[in-house]
Structure 1
Amino acid sequence: MFKTPIPKQELDDRLTKFYSLMNEVYPDWDTAVILSKVNQYYFTGTMQDGMLLVTKERKAFYFVRRSFERAKAESLFSDIYPMESYRDAVAVTGGDCGNTFVETEVVTWGIMDRLQKYFKMGTISSLDRVILAVRSVKSPLELEKLEHAGKQHDDLLQHIVPALLREGMNEAEFVAEILVKMVELGHQGICRFSMFQTEMVVGQIGFGESSIYPTSFDGPGGAYGLCPAVPLGGSRERKLRKGDLIFVDIGFGYDGYHTDKTQIYLFGGKPTDEMIKLQRACIEVQARLALLLKPGAVPSEIYQTVTNELSDDFKQNFMGFGQRQVKFLGHGVGLHVDEFPVIANGFKDPLAENMVIALEPKKGLADLGMVGVEDTYIVTPQGGRCITGGGKDIIVI
């Protein structure tokens, strides 16, 4: 029924990395409480309504409300227990968590109230950065899944999407047709983001000026969306016209792991000299960034090096339109589309081999939309190795 489970050695290695980093960064920690379903999956190989408790004494307990049967069928994790309430977990662990670390970007005040009803906790601190750091370096198993996603992703945008475009179709129809083709290629049907309350159908997709319309999403592109209540997906009113730029910035997920890629198209006309020039300039920026993705390189220094090389003119409407410019050039990808590290100021931990990073230089054009590229790279001693095909010129339909 299910695919081959994540090998037990892989799960053990992930926990070993976690123990090592926790002991290095927070030597006085006692207990980590992991409630995020994605993080549960990373450490146990199954995604349930449950709780993973990890102690400094190298003990790990996975308590599952629903479905315990499925968790046992899917996971090779050693210690899985059924749980109806947190009281059941206390009966196994003793309930004294000491200095406790939780995922503060995920755990709500209400959940903490319920946990503290049963567990005794000393100091409570954030676990998020340690888990993101552990997850940022991918194993060979993870890289295999990412490379498969990248291959399918490139095939989709280069060879399948162009045939979907037709005059008069609206953005929502285009999004729906892309999703069907993605699923046919093995896409998992959803794209996961770690950013608080971030939802997405397949990504940001826009015809013409729609792709520079303001959104709450922290990315260079824009979108009209369906309506104020659902400001994503695609507009039913904005229809494809001859001469439109088409912005397709989407994630592709395979067996949990995402790649991120953007392709620009032009429908029923010829790109202007300015469009061609700026698209190729973004490709050059991406290539420059990729050369710097080597173990030991510092993300903030990469960001400063590349942005300082750009002319003041090019920086206008770069990485966004108008005043809506984002302050990064790339971001990690994996079980979430948005992971560590980020190629931006403030990120000073050096890159490590087998980190996976999406590089996305883009530039907005008034009244026309967004041009630019995005591709996913693996950090290697020779620089970033692209797994999504690399930046392309505007594809003319």
Structure 2
Amino acid sequence: MERRTPASELRDRMERFRLRMDTDNPSWEFAAIFGRVNQFYFTGTMQDGALLIPRTGEAVLWVRRSFERALDESLFPEIRPMKSFRDAACGMGACPAAVHVDTEVVPLALLDRFRKYFPFRETKALDAETAGVRARKSAYELAIMEQAGRIHRHVLEDCVPGMLREGMSEADLGAEVFSHMVRDGYHGIARFGRFGTEMVLGQLGFGENSLYPTSFDGPGGCLGAAPGAPVLGSHDGRLKAGDLVFVDCACGVQGYHTDKTVTYMFGRSLPDEAIEAHRRCVDIQDATAALLRPGITPSEIYETILDSLNPTFLENFMGFGDRRAQFLGHGIGLTVDEAPVIARGFDEPLEEGMVFALEPKKGIRGVGMVGIENTFVVTRGGGRCITGTNTGLVPVY
């Protein structure tokens, strides 16, 4: 598999970023990108350094460590070594009064060290511009995501039913899912852009553990291994007949992710109420996917779907109790939680090639979180699923 992002991809991304900056910030003069994910997107490598982009002049990736690796991995046209930001300042010339940075990810301490040699007075954000550029995937990116989707589909639909056995812990299941995905090509990390979000794989749980409250902004729950590491799954809870098994995880290849949720009925069927709620969630996923066409806005999709639902169904929809996620799906790519989001307030029209994870889910007291999630590409004919068509509540008995 080719490890290096094609030079044509990198040129197109930088050109689109500059155009977006010109449109959104007509007076911009200088951008500094510190976040590793954004650096990878624009240069094809993730090193300790800074990508500096003057409005006029060539963008330069300044690398502290490892310069050798950056040269090996990247086809970016201008990569230079530095021992400190002093070297970058000498190489870039005069600094303007205002600098645009990726404020969502850069630590204040790092920004202060940068300002020592780049004495700008005003910090402005470029997060919306990088998110907007990253939202539309190229054919190159989609091919990688489709590979992740094939691994995802195979492991969750074909392999997990054979992993489930009475007495196993959630952590046991998480370890087996993770191991199998890695062997199939998973890159081994579920990467999020939201501050402080850490996940080994995703969220999984047996029974009502899938309703357990978390700090994560999503409909599902997860007890996790411990309060200091609320990830993967509990070592204590054991799978028993009659349990709902909830597996919501990411899968990634070469930095790009897909997102998928499959549920399983272990040992015996679930109550009719849970089965009916699950089927309704699958219908909602399909109806939402059909609207993923260029020109429509995410907020329109959200309002259309929500308005079609019976008010009684909305109780515990997209969460449980007062913990309700205010979206139906989210953009996905180099991070699991990308823009735009299928929610109110996202009013820019969809473009062909955008990718969304749709996840209508509903909490059922005494049972757990039912529902579904799959990853879809925006096309003129509606959303094209790249993670499989299994409708979930897979019987394992």
What stretches of structure 2 of length at least 5 have no aligned partner? none
Using the size of structure 2 for normalisation, the TM-score is 0.98
Per-residue deviation, 1:4: 3.7
Q: Describe the SS at the equivalent of 1:173.
A: helix
Q: Which residue of structure 2 lines up, in the alignment, with residue 238 of structure 1? A: 237
Q: Percent identity?
A: 51
Per-residue deviation, 1:391: 5.0
Alignment of 1:227-306 (within 5 A): 227-306=226-305
Q: Which residue of structure 2 lines up, in the alignment, with residue 307 of structure 1? A: 306
Alignment of 1:12-161 (within 5 A): 12-161=11-160
Query: Residues 374 and 387 of structure 2 are in contact (CA less than 8 Å); yes or no, is this contact kept in structure 1?
Result: yes
CA distance in 2, matches of 1:161, 1:393: 12
Q: Deviations over 1:52-80 (max 9, x none)?
A: 00111142010000000000011111110
Query: Residues 102 and 127 of structure 2 are in contact (CA less than 8 Å); yes or no, is this contact kept in structure 1?
Result: yes
Amino acid at match of 1:241: K
Amino acid at match of 1:116: R
Per-residue deviation, 1:122: 4.0
Q: Describe the SS at the equivalent of 1:228.
A: coil
Per-residue deviation, 1:312: 1.1
CA distance in 2, matches of 1:41, 1:240: 41
Q: Which residue of structure 2 lines up, in the alignment, with residue 3 of structure 1? A: 2
Query: Residues 202 and 250 of structure 1 are in contact (CA less than 8 Å); yes or no, is this contact kept in structure 2?
Result: yes
Per-residue deviation, 1:271: 2.6
Q: Deviations over 1:233-266 (max 9, x none)?
A: 1111111010000000000001111000000001
Q: Which residue of structure 1 lines up, in the alignment, with residue 391 of structure 2? A: 392
Q: Describe the SS at the equivalent of 1:38.
A: helix
Q: Deviations over 1:102-127 (max 9, x none)?
A: 11111122112111111021431111
Amino acid at match of 1:41: F
- Name the Cα RMSD after superposition: 1.0
Q: Deviations over 1:129-170 (max 9, x none)?
A: 100000000011000001111111111111011111100011
Query: Residues 37 and 48 of structure 1 are in contact (CA less than 8 Å); yes or no, is this contact kept in structure 2?
Result: yes
CA distance in 1, matches of 2:109, 2:150: 42
Q: Which residue of structure 2 lines up, in the alignment, with residue 355 of structure 1? A: 354
Query: Residues 375 and 391 of structure 1 are in contact (CA less than 8 Å); yes or no, is this contact kept in structure 2?
Result: no
CA distance in 1, matches of 2:110, 2:49: 12
Per-residue deviation, 1:313: 1.0
Query: Residues 219 and 361 of structure 2 are in contact (CA less than 8 Å); yes or no, is this contact kept in structure 1?
Result: yes
CA distance in 1, matches of 2:353, 2:201: 25
Query: Residues 274 and 367 of structure 2 are in contact (CA less than 8 Å); yes or no, is this contact kept in structure 1?
Result: no
CA distance in 2, matches of 1:163, 1:292: 35
CA distance in 2, matches of 1:275, 1:154: 23
Q: Describe the SS at the equivalent of 1:89.
A: helix
Query: Residues 374 and 391 of structure 1 are in contact (CA less than 8 Å); yes or no, is this contact kept in structure 2?
Result: no
Aligned residues: 396
Query: Residues 244 and 266 of structure 1 are in contact (CA less than 8 Å); yes or no, is this contact kept in structure 2?
Result: yes
62-71 or 271-280, which deviates more: 271-280
Query: Residues 28 and 99 of structure 1 are in contact (CA less than 8 Å); yes or no, is this contact kept in structure 2?
Result: no
Using the size of structure 1 for normalisation, the TM-score is 0.98
CA distance in 2, matches of 1:121, 1:191: 35
CA distance in 2, matches of 1:8, 1:178: 35
Amino acid at match of 1:49: D
CA distance in 2, matches of 1:4, 1:189: 16
Per-residue deviation, 1:272: 2.4
Deviating beyond 6 angstroms after TM superposition, the runs of 4 or more aligned structure 1 residues are none
What stretches of structure 1 of length at least 5 have no aligned partner? none
Amino acid at match of 1:128: D
CA distance in 2, matches of 1:368, 1:8: 51
